[in-house]
Amino acid sequence: AQKITQTQPGMFVQEKEAVTLDCTYDTSDQSYGLFWYKQPSSGEMIFLIYQGSYDEQNATEGRYSLNFQKARKSANLVISASQLGDSAMYFCAMREAYNFNKFYFGSGTKLNVKP
């Protein structure tokens, strides 16, 4: 069975500091994709970053980076220089590389950025 685990239901971070949101996954597949989504209080789901299982470099998108440790099956999201607008729910997800229909989502981490 494939599963995504986000062990931090909620986190606080001071504005302008960096924060790491944890994500571990369980799969027996060799090829897969990892995603992070942001859900603000308004409810929409916003795609942040993608990491392929064969990508050797950690993915980066602006202030977002994905700390990918394949042997540990972890795909932590790092947000640098936190902003008040980063306060939201964050979901980690995994998809089989050759099946675009099976996305597995974690239960999410609620991040609060303090001024």
Partner 1 sequence: DADVTQTPRNRITKTGKRIMLECSQTKGHDRMYWYRQDPGLGLRLIYYSFDVKDINKGEISDGYSVSRQAQAKFSLSLESAIPNQTALYFCATAQGRPGQSTGELFFGEGSRLTVL
C-alpha to C-alpha distance for 20 and 82, rounded to whole angstroms: 11
Which residues would be at the binding site for partner 1 (CB under 8 A)?
A: 4, 9, 33, 35, 37, 42-47, 50, 52, 91, 93, 95, 97-103, 105-108
Which one-letter DSSP state was computed for residue 93? E
- 35 versus 68: smaller Cβ distance to partner 1: 35
- 82 versus 108: smaller Cβ distance to partner 1: 108
- 81 versus 97: smaller Cβ distance to partner 1: 97
Write the DSSP assignment of 52-80 as a string of letters. ETT--SPPEETTEEEEEETTTTEEEEEE-
Shortest reach from residue 16's CB to partner 1, in Å: 29
- 44 versus 56: smaller Cβ distance to partner 1: 44
Shortest reach from residue 78's CB to partner 1, in Å: 19
Shortest reach from residue 101's CB to partner 1, in Å: 5
All residues at 6 or more sequence positions from 80 whose CB lies less than 8 Å from its CB, including other chains: 18, 63, 65
DSSP-derived 3-state class of residue 84: helix
What's the sign of the alpha-carbon dihedral 5, 7, 9, 11? negative
Shortest reach from residue 115's CB to partner 1, in Å: 26
